[in-house]
Amino acid sequence: MMTYYILIGGIALLSWIVSSRLKSKFKHYSKIHLRNGMSGAEIAQKMLDDHGIRDVKVISTPGMLTDHYNPKNKTVNLSEGVYNQRNASAAAVAAHEVGHAVQHAQAYEWLTMRSKLVPVVSVTSGMSTWVVFGGLMLGAAAGVGLGYYIAVAGLIMMGLATVFSFITLPVEYDASNRALAWLKQKNMVSQQEYAGAEDALKWAARTYLVAALGALASLVYWAFQVFGGRD
């Protein structure tokens, strides 16, 4: 149990460090005002237009760092700050979210795979730890019987969530690459603004990396508890 607490504590600490770095990076780069004076919403709309995408809407959503692309109703949802502000952070986030819309329009395979897993993972990921734990309580350590099978079922659910968090990585990196390539190609930002956008997106990607590593660490730990306990 001790190893688990150290592992989870370490990952939680890392996750906190990365997300607070991310927030401070975004704050810093939001002070770099865009030379072209465009808001995040205008950047997003222009990137959609440049890719010939006409059936995706750019809308404003409440909160901070709540930006996302919704493939169900084809909307690029930008947080209020990103939607309205005219700076390097807003440009980076807006272009990144449109990067997901471009992936969707071009049926980018990692995004397709991720979308297929969403309905499954949204049901299983919240309960997987409890299923494994419940199985162990029922006597999985004996290596036979109901408890063991319940624990293994829980591990499979946990494995799905882990796979999901790793499939998210190429999707996120690719959206950022598309965003940065477009910003550069269309000469949307100055060199300094570009450097800011690139750095901000790099920290955003790291939060997904930490989440994936956390899921993997948890899976390995619980697998050890279930299979290791058989001896």
Task: Compose the 129-168 pattern: x for residues touching Zn ion by CB under 5 A, - for all others.
Answer: ----------------------------------------
Residue 90 or 175 having the CB closest to Zn ion:
175
Kind plus residue range of the DSSP H or E element containing 56: none
**Smallest separation (angstroms) from Zn ion to the CB of 94:** 12
For the chain, the first-to-last Cα distance in angstroms comes to 17
> How many residues make contact with Zn ion (CB under 5 A)?
2
Interface positions, 164-203, toward Zn ion (CB under 5 A): 172, 175
CB nearer to Zn ion: give 94 or 140. Answer: 94
Query: Which residue(s) pair with 58 in the sheet?
Result: 76
Write down the least CB distance from residue 93 to Zn ion, Å. Answer: 9
As measured in angstroms, the least distance from the Cβ of 175 to Zn ion is 5
Torsion over CA: 11, 13, 17, 22 (sign): positive
| Nearer CB in complex with Zn ion: 48/151 | 48
CB of 100 to Zn ion, least distance (A): 6
Amino acid (one-letter) located at 156: I
Across 40-166, the runs of DSSP E, i.e. the strands, are: 57-61, 68-70, 75-79
Q: Please report how close the Cβ of residue 186 comes to Zn ion at its closest, in angstroms.
A: 20
Minimum CB distance to Zn ion smaller for 157 or for 179: 179
SS3 108: coil
Nearer to Zn ion, 46 or 100 (CB): 100
Look up residue 178 and give its amino acid: R
DSSP 68: E
Q: Report residue 118 as tokens.
A: 């969403």
CA distance 204 to 170: 13
* List of residues contacting Zn ion (CB under 5 A): 172, 175
